[in-house]
Structures are given as C-alpha cells and as structure tokens.
Amino acid sequence: MGNILNEIGIENYIFLSVLLFCIGVFGVLYRRNAIIVFMSIEIMLNAVNLLFVAFSTYHQDAEGQVFVFFSMAVAAAEVAVGLAILVSVFRNLGSIDIDNLKNLKG
Amino acid sequence: MSPILITFYFLAAITLATAFLTIYSKNPIHSAIYLIICFFSIGGHYLLFNAQFLAIVHIIVYAGAIMVLMLFTIMLMNLNKEDEVHKPRITRLGAIVVFVVMSIVLVTIFINSKTIVGEYDTSGEDFQSIKKLGNVLLNEYMVPFEYASVLLLVAMIGTVLLSKKEKPGK
Amino acid sequence: MEMNLAILLLLSPFVGFLFNVFFGKKVSKGFSGTIGTLTVVVSFLLSVCFFAQLNQNGKAFEFSLFDWIQVGNFKLNFGILLDQLSILWLLFVTGIGSLIHLYSISYMHDDENMHKFFAYLNLFVFFMITLVVGSNLLVMFIGWEGVGLCSYLLIGFWYKNQDYNDAAKKAFIMNRVGDLGLLIGIFILAINLDTINFTDLNAGVVALNKTGGNQALQWAALCLFIGATGKSAQIPLYTWLPDAMAGPTPVSALIHAATMVTAGIFMVTRMNFLFDLTPNVQHVIAIIGTITALVAAAIGLLQNDIKKVLAYSTVSQLGLMFLALGLGAYNVAVFHVITHAFFKACLFLGSGSVIHGLHGEQDMRKMGGLRKAMPITFWTMMISTLAIAGIFPFAGFWSKDEILMTAFHENKTLWIVASIASIMTAFYMFRLMYLTFFREFRGTEEQKNHLHESPSLITIPLVILAVLATIGGAINLPGSTWLNHYLEPILAGKHEEHHLGSTEYMLMGIALVGAIIGIVLAYSKYIKQAFVPKTDNEIVGFSKTIYNKFYVDELYTATIVKPINALSNFFRTTLEPALSKVVFSFGSVAYGLSSQGRKLQNGNIGLYLFVFVIGICAIITYLFIAQ
C-alpha cells in the first residue's frame, strides 16, 4: 500500500489544521459561554492531533500517533476537571458567562 | 482528481463547516451536536490515513465520552436556550481580526518553510497497527503511559471533590 | 591529671560566675559572696600546686584543648600554656583576687546587687586566667577582651549614676582603640609567620628577622604596644583609668591597680623575643613609659579625691614598668608588677576602708585625723605608702630601685625623669596620708560620731597585703636574685645582673634620699603649715592646669570627639536625607509606573485572552517570519 499523502499532499493537511486551529481561537475570543469556549479548546486540540497523525504518516512512524493518545488522555482529564469547575461556578453564580467572572480584578 | 482527494475535500469541508457552526450557533445544544459531527469527520480523516485503531479510539473518547459529558453538563445547567448576550461589537470585530491575523501568520510560516519536492517516503513497513502501537506504547513510552493513568486518576478524584455539594455549615 | 587540674583552675571562677548569675539572687548575700570567694581560692590553691611542681622539674606545661582554626597554612589550637611567667601571674592574680573577694563580702554587704557584683568579679578572674594561660595570642586576646568587658561592667556597677556609666563607656571605648592595635599586631604576625603560638613564634620571629622581615616585625611590635597602652593606661590612652575609679573600691583594687592593667606588661614580657629585635619600638616604649610616669605623678600631686590620687599613682607606676620593659629589663618590670600589686591593692583596699568608715566620702579635704579611729587601716596603709615611696626595706624600694638602676645604666635622661617621678610619688602619697590620717577631723559632726574601724573581713586582707608589701622585695633582692633565675627560661638569660658596686649603692642612696625629700616636703607643707587644699575655684595658675589634669580630656574632646560629632551631625542632617531622597525617588518611579500598569489588570478574562493570542502571533512572527 502506498503513501496516502502521495495523493492528497501534506500541505492540504497543514492548511486544514491551521484553519481548524484558528477557528478554535476565534471561538475562544468570540463567545461568552464558557461551555462553548471549552468546545473551542477541544477543536484546537483536535487540529493539533490531526497534524500529528499527518506527520506520523509522512514519516511512516508510530510515535506521532502515540502522542495523540497522550493528548487525548490529557484532554479527557482537562474536560472532566474543567466541567466540574464550571458546575461549581454555575452553582455559585447562576451563570457561566466568562465576562461575569471578574473576581480576579485586583 | 482521484477519489481519495475528493473524499479528503469532502471531509475537510464538513470539518471546517461544523467547527465554524459549533462556534456560531447560539444554542449550546446545537453547538454540541455540530461538534460531534466535526469529531466524526476528523475520525474520517484518521481512517483516510489507514489509522483504524486511532480512529476508533478518537470516536470513543471524543464523541462517546467527552461530548456526552458536555451534553450532560449543558442539560444540568439548563442552557439549551438562546439567551446568551453577545459580546460588545468591538470585541467581536477584534476576534475576527485576530482570527484573520492568526491564520495569515500560521499559513505564512508553512509557505515560508522548505517546500517538499518529489515523492513521499513509503517504507512499506507496518507502523500503525494495534500491535505495533501497543509495542511502542508499552516499551518506549511505558513511564509516560503510567503517568497518564495517574493523571486520569487524579482528574477523577478532583472532579468528584469539585462537584460534590458542600455540606451546609462547613 | 594535670590537664584536668588546669581546666579546673580555669573554670572554677567561671562556675562561681554561673552560680551567682543564676542563683545569686535566691541565696543569702553572705553565701553568694562565699561561693564567689571559694571558687577563686580553689584557683589560687591549684596555682600554688602548679607552681610547686614547676619549681621541682622546671618544665613548662602545655596542652591543647581542641583544634580551633585552620585556614590554609595557618593552624591554631585552643591551647593552655603553664610556664614560669603565666604561673607567676596566676599566683598573684588569684591570690590577690581571693583577698579582694574576701574583702568585698564585707564591703559590698549593703548593696542590693551583691550577687551581681560577685558574678562580675568571678567572670573577671576567669577571663584574667584565660588571658594569662593562653598558649597563643588569640586565646590571650579572648581574655584580653573579656577583662575589658568585666572592667566596663564593674566601673558602671552603680549604673543609676550617669557619670559612672559615662566613665564605664569611656574605659570601654579607650580600650577598644588599644585592642584594635593589638588585633592588627596579631594579624601582622599571623600573615608573616603563619603561627601565633608563643612557642613557635620565638623561632619564627628570629627566622623572619634574618630573612629581612624586620620592617614587618617593627610594625607588629608597635601595634602590640598600642594594645598595651590601652589596657595598661599609658599615654595617650591613659585617661580612662582615673575615671574608672567610679567603680566600687574593691574593683579599683583588683582590676585597675593589681591585675588587669598589668596585662599590657604581661603581653610585652611574653613577646620579649619580638621586642628585643625591634630596638626602635623599645625606645618608644621607654620614652612613653617615662613621660607617663612623670605626667601622671604631676597630676597626682594636686588631686583631692583619695581614689583619684591612687589612680594617677597607678598610671605613674605602670609608666615606670614600661620604662623597664623598654630598656629590655623584663624581669625588673615583672618584679615591680608584683610588688606594685601588693602595695597598690593594699592602698586601694585601705582607701576603701576609709571611704566605708566615712559612708562614701572620697574628698580628702573632708577627712583628717583618722589615725586614732582606724588604727589597722592606718598602719597597713602607712606600710604600703612607705613601700610605694621606695623606703628601705619595703618591697617597693627594691623593685623601683632596680628600674632606676637599669635606667641609669642605659640612659641618664630617662633616669633623671624617672627619679623626679619617684620623688613626686613620695610627696603625693604622704600628702594623701597626712591629709587623711593626721591632724584633726574636717568632716561633719555626724560623720565624726560614727567613725569606727572596719570589720575584720576588711582588715584581714589589709594586714596580709601589708605584710606582703613589707617582705615582697625578698623575691629579688640584689644579692639573691630568685626571680631572675625563675624567669630565665622565658627571657632566655637576656638580663644582666647588676653587680653591686659603689655605683649601685650610691644609686640606692640617691633613690632613698629622693624619697625622703618628697616625704619631708609633704610633711612641712601639710603637717607643719597645716595646709588644706583649696576649693576648686580658688585654684589658679599652673596648679590649676595640673589640677585639671593638663586638660587632656578637654583636648581629646576638642580634637577627636567634637569633629566626629560634627561629622555625624553633618551625615545625619544633610547627607542622609539627600541619600534617602535618591533612594526614595527610585521607589516612587516604580510606584508610579506600577500604578499605571495596574489599570491593565482589570480582571477581564476576555481581554487577557486577546492579549495572549496577539502575543503568541507576535512571538511566532518574530521567530519564524521576521528573520
């Protein structure tokens, strides 16, 4: 079986993940709802994962994919803790609008 | 145009569109559903690379676990309404500008970097079967692998502690 | 065994100090005094043991307690050296110390802080022993500083009187000046010889002298001598000693007459091999000693405070000892140290007895006629006065005569000046006796009715010291020079015997006649003419200058204290505010900047994220594109 990249080209994947990543950034900046912000972060993570796999194939090496596994583990842990925090924030403030979280102000 | 290339463009279009809709739709439930579609399309990309195991894991973890968690949270908070107040106009404009700038910067980097000429390597060896991945994961990456389990355990305990209701008077 | 005994000898007074510090207040006054005295007596007895042993086998006893300092080639032990010199010093330090402790039990009995007094006294004896038995200069320096501290504590013992506190501070600061000299001297020796052990120094100094290090040796010797001038009250650092009379009289007797002030002489004698190689410094020592003897004796002529007279007399006698040291006659100086310790301690204790009998009166103009009321005090003081005046056959005659004889052989000018100082000594000492004990009482009626002889605890030490002042000269009579032979291992036979010829007898005769002239002068003025010193403001002319101690204190105030005060004032009022302004301006700039920067931290997460992303873009642009 030949290299799939011979037919698609690594550049296409690079541009795809760059765009995906930027959409994620855009979401973080654009929305006030903390859950959507979370989702944007997930999108960014996936953009990176996708690039990992693309280069794993490019180098014909498994290590890129191994890193994706670790990144998934971290993402899972992050989402679990993050959502728990959001829940307790919601309990205390009644909303998860990040613009309302101004207790950090010195 | 080969069928594979067409498949790629199709999947890429779905990925980008759903990702954009995730951010754009006002109802969080809709967002979550778009995001699930997005994840599935990314899983499709993985299959395109012939990385079946990774694709399955991706679907299970993201679409199965993470997104379900998110959906539960959204329902728990009763957020399935389009009641979110928009950010100020200047902020939204700023976000769009930053989005454009960021895209240009990143794309410029890749364009500036050394272009790849000629054929891609084809080793012909097996590098992404479950067997091979398992070997790599449990030999070279043994210690990080164990650490990942510890991390998940700690995250679990932390989550339980955080979401536990505080007893009154304490 | 010997080592343990030596440690016991050293630590016994320290135990007394600890006891009196921690438990002195809880036990009765008599008990705390007894403990204080006993611990010193133990040291004295042990000193006698060591002395007897040393006399038998003649071997010095040295051992090291522990390794102390090791820097490069320089290695130092915390060691103890018991040789002829240190044991001799131990004998009279602990011996006289015991007597004075005994005396203090009675003398200080009315003081509320008696336990503290004994604690300080014991601490002093401990440090004095450390000073004497140290096997190197640094251990000696510990003792040297320690006795300075105790001197400070005891001068200011009656701390409620500000004048006494000032006197204590003065003593401490003046000693500090000298101590700096001593320390620099030690440093010079340590740098050049890599050792400051007394036993190694001797060979090292000689070797260095041969290889052309005489310059460094001279500086070292001069610095050591400056240290000695501080501790032993020589010009120019002598002014603290008369003021130190603010302390209780036993302190004056023990510290400021018999023991501590002789530390300078001890140190110079210890380092005799160094001073022998630096004749220039020896000349300086001899000249300063002679001038001190003369100036102090002159000031003593007109003082009216009984203790001040004795203080100037001490300074004067110390000057004579330094004269002997400067002439290389170390054994003679040591001889005079010992006899002086006897009679000066006796005189001070006698004056203390007088002050005690008059309830604190120290002015001789208000005394007189005490001979009948206080016979024991009178006779013991009379003997000591005869001794200090140099009347045959009392102890002072022999030692002072030795000094004068040495001076005569070495340098006639010094001999003449020293002889004049001796005549003055005889005069002012008999002036003191006549004013205090003869003619009629000049104090108040009430004091007169209460006149009484002091209790036996006070008179017993007086009698013992008087006996010693009488026969003390026997240890080094011109014929049988026991002391010279005894000190031979230390001084390496450098002294020369004065063969008793006609010159020597003539010199003795001259000295005796001089002393008698002084006595006769005093007799004619204060007995025949019944002269009583005038009150302070009636004194005019040159005697006013003398009465005010040649205005040396005023001179020091004007030349040293005032300029330093002015400089500090300038620093405080001008320089410090200016400097703080500079420093504060840095602070206010930082404060202004940060209060502006604080506005950026408005707690808006959205804004933070914007800045964050833009920052990432900028960094990436810089790293990958801009190059």
Planar angle of CA A27, A68, B156, nearest 5 degrees: 80
In angstroms, the CA A27 to CA A23 distance is 6
The structure tokens listed for C456 are 């036996």
DSSP collapsed to 3 states, C213-239: CHHHHHHHHHHHHHHHHHHCCCCCCCC
Write the Ramachandran bin of C136: left for phi over 0, alpha for psi from -120 to 50, otherwise beta: beta
In angstroms, the CA C222 to CA B3 distance is 106
The structure tokens listed for B36 are 């699930």
pLDDT of residue B116: 64
Q: CB-based contact (8 Å) between C615 and chain B?
A: no
pLDDT of residue C602: 74
**Cβ pair A29:C605 closer than 8 A:** no
Between the CA atoms of A76, A77, A78 and A82, what dihedral angle is there, to the nearest 10 degrees?
A: 110
pTM: 0.68
Q: CB-based contact (8 Å) between C606 and chain B?
A: yes
Number of Cβ atoms within 10 Å of the Cβ of C363 = 15
Nearest to C247 by CA among C106, C388, C146, C107: C107
Q: CB-based contact (8 Å) between C609 and chain A?
A: yes
Contact list, C624 vs chain B (CB under 8 Å): 109, 112
In angstroms, the CA C266 to CA C90 distance is 11
- Collapse the DSSP code of C497 into the 3-class scheme (helix H, G, I; strand E, B; otherwise coil) and give the result: coil
**Cβ pair A105:C601 closer than 8 A:** yes
| CA distances for B161 relative to B156, C179, C436, C498, angstroms | 9, 69, 95, 102
Q: Where are the domains of chain C?
A: 278-530, 574-625
CB C61 within 8 A of CB C51: no
Question: In this structure, what DSSP letter does residue C157 have?
Answer: S
In angstroms, the CA A94 to CA B78 distance is 11
Number of Cβ atoms within 10 Å of the Cβ of C280 = 11
Delineate the domains of chain A, giving CATH numbers in brackets. 8-98 (1.10.287.3510)
Between the CA atoms of C444, C446, C449 and C453, what dihedral angle is there, to the nearest 10 degrees?
A: -80
CB C140 within 8 A of CB C228: no
Rg (CA), chain A: 18
Planar angle of CA C126, C130, C131, nearest 5 degrees: 115
With contact defined as 3+ CB pairs under 8 Å, the chains touching C are A, B
Q: Where are the domains of chain B?
A: 1-112, 125-170
To the nearest whole Å, the CA of C598 is away from the closest chain B CA by: 22
- Collapse the DSSP code of C441 into the 3-class scheme (helix H, G, I; strand E, B; otherwise coil) and give the result: coil
In angstroms, the CA A51 to CA A65 distance is 10
> What secondary structure does DSSP assign to C120-140, as a single string?
HHHHHHHHHHHHHHBSBHHHH
In angstroms, the CA C376 to CA C462 distance is 8
What is the arithmetic mean of pLDDT over B12-24?
93
Query: What H or E segment, with its residue span, contains residue C62?
Result: strand C61-71
CB C87 within 8 A of CB C54: yes
The phi and psi torsions of C66 (rounded to 5 degrees) equal -165, 160
Residue C621 CB partners (closer than 8 Å, separation 6+): B105
pLDDT tens profile C507-536: 888 888 888 888 888 888 888 887 777 776
pLDDT of residue C545: 76
* Architecture of the domain spanning B1-112: Up-down Bundle (1.20)
pLDDT of residue B84: 63
With a CB-CB cutoff of 8 Å, which residues 105-134 of chain B face chain A? 106-107, 110, 116, 119-123, 125, 127-128, 132-133
Considering only CB atoms, A28 lies closest to which of C598, C602, C609, namely C609
At position C612, the amino acid (one-letter code) is: F
How many helices, marked H, and strands, marked E, lie in chain A? 4, 0
DSSP collapsed to 3 states, C272-327: HHHHHCCHHHHHHHHHHHHHHHHHHHHHHCCCCEHHHHHHHHHHHHHHHHHHHHHC
Which residues of A fall below an 8 Å CB-CB distance to C? 25, 28-29, 32, 98-99, 101-106
Which residues sit opposite C530 in a β-bridge?
Answer: none
pLDDT of residue B82: 63
Q: What is the ipTM of this complex?
A: 0.89
pLDDT tens profile A60-91: 888 889 999 999 999 999 999 999 988 888 88
End-to-end CA distance of chain B: give it in Å, rounded. Answer: 68
**Cβ pair B112:C621 closer than 8 A:** no
Residue B81 binned pLDDT confidence (cut-offs 50, 70, 90) = low
In angstroms, the CA B26 to CA B34 distance is 12
Rg (CA), chain C: 30
Residues of chain C with pLDDT under 70: 479-480, 492-500, 536-537, 540, 627
| CA distances for C251 relative to B161, C110, C573, angstroms | 76, 16, 42
Considering only CB atoms, C625 lies closest to which of B87, B94, B112, namely B112
CB C273 within 8 A of CB C317: no
pLDDT of residue C267: 92
- Between strands C61-71 and C74-82, the pairing is antiparallel
With contact defined as 3+ CB pairs under 8 Å, the chains touching A are B, C
> What secondary structure does DSSP assign to A48-97, as a single string?
HHHHHHHHHHHHT-SHHHHHHHHHHHHHHHHHHHHHHHHHHHHHHHS--B
Alpha helices in C58-161 (DSSP H): 84-107, 114-133, 137-155
pLDDT of residue B16: 93
